[in-house]
A and B are shown apart, each in its own frame.
Chain A
Amino acid sequence: DVKVTQSSRYLVKRTGEKVFLECVQDMDHENMFWYRQDPGLGLRLIYFSYDVKMKEKGDIPEGYSVSREKKERFSLILESASTNQTSMYLCASGLGSGSTDTQYFGPGTRLTVL
């Protein structure tokens, strides 16, 4: 079974803090993704990576950055957290075969910014 893990299930941070969310997958997937999930808005893609050190902006990249130094690990960084970044953050990974790709999701990190 594919396993995608995220470093924290719940996180509380203060406005202006730098926040790191970590994601690790154990299936040698090429693609990794960061989404945020908000009620009524579904999942919105923040960034994705298709290879080590490669990244692409998703639909809502503003206020976020990412890092992929190793194939199995994809980090989401909030340089200066703001209250409107309070959300559920989901990491996913996929094989990278393009149109046949299925994404496998981690358990999510619920981030609250005070």
Chain B
Amino acid sequence: AQSVSQHNHHVILSEAASLELGCNYSYGGTVNLFWYVQYPGQHLQLLLKYFSGDPLVKGIKGFEAEFIKSKFSFNLRKPSVQWSDTAEYFCAALAGNAGNMLTFGGGTRLMVKP
């Protein structure tokens, strides 16, 4: 069965610091990858997704993620975080043979200090 790992459960940064959140998945075949974000008190919402093509994916609010197939990774990055980026971030994978079943990582809670 596929699995998704997010190695950092809690990250604390100061404003303007650069962010990189790790995500690794276990499936070796075709895989689609997602980052979701949940701001305090709000719905889970899609930040960005990778299906095919350019492995560097740009999402909303200045976030980007790079799919590195050889490392089974899909790390999320932002060059300069803001206080409003404080949220929980979830990586998810959809394996080619899993139908419509997304597998989520455990989440990373990001706190940005003003």
B102 touches A45 (CB 8 A): yes
Contacts of A92 in B (CB 8 A): 44
- Pairs of residues from A and B, 6 with the lowest C-beta to C-beta distance, nearest first: A105-B44, A42-B104, A43-B104, A42-B106, A42-B107, A31-B100
Residue B69 CB within 8 A of the other chain: no
Stretch at the interface among B45-53, B58-66, B70-78: B45-53
Size class of the B contact interface (CB-based, 8 Å)? 20 to 34
Name the distance in Å between A33's Cβ and chain B's nearest Cβ: 8
Whether B30 contacts A108 by the Cβ 8 Å rule is no
| Assembly CA distance A49 to B107 (angstroms) | 25
Residue in B closest to A4 when the chains form the complex, CB atoms: B43
User: How many A-B residue contacts, CB cutoff 8 Å?
Assistant: 61
Contact B43 A50 (CB under 8 A): no
Residues of chain B within 8 A of A108, CB atoms compared: 43-44
Mask of A36-55 contacts with B, CB within 8 angstroms, 1/0: 00001111110010100000
Which B residue sits closest to A44, measured CB to CB?
A: B104
A41, B109: Cα distance in complex, Å: 12
Write the nearest CB–CB distance from B103 to chain A, whole angstroms.
8
With A44-B104, A58-B101 as known contacts, state yes or no: A99 contacts B32, CB within 8 Å: yes
In the bound complex, CA of A44 to CA of B90 (Å): 12
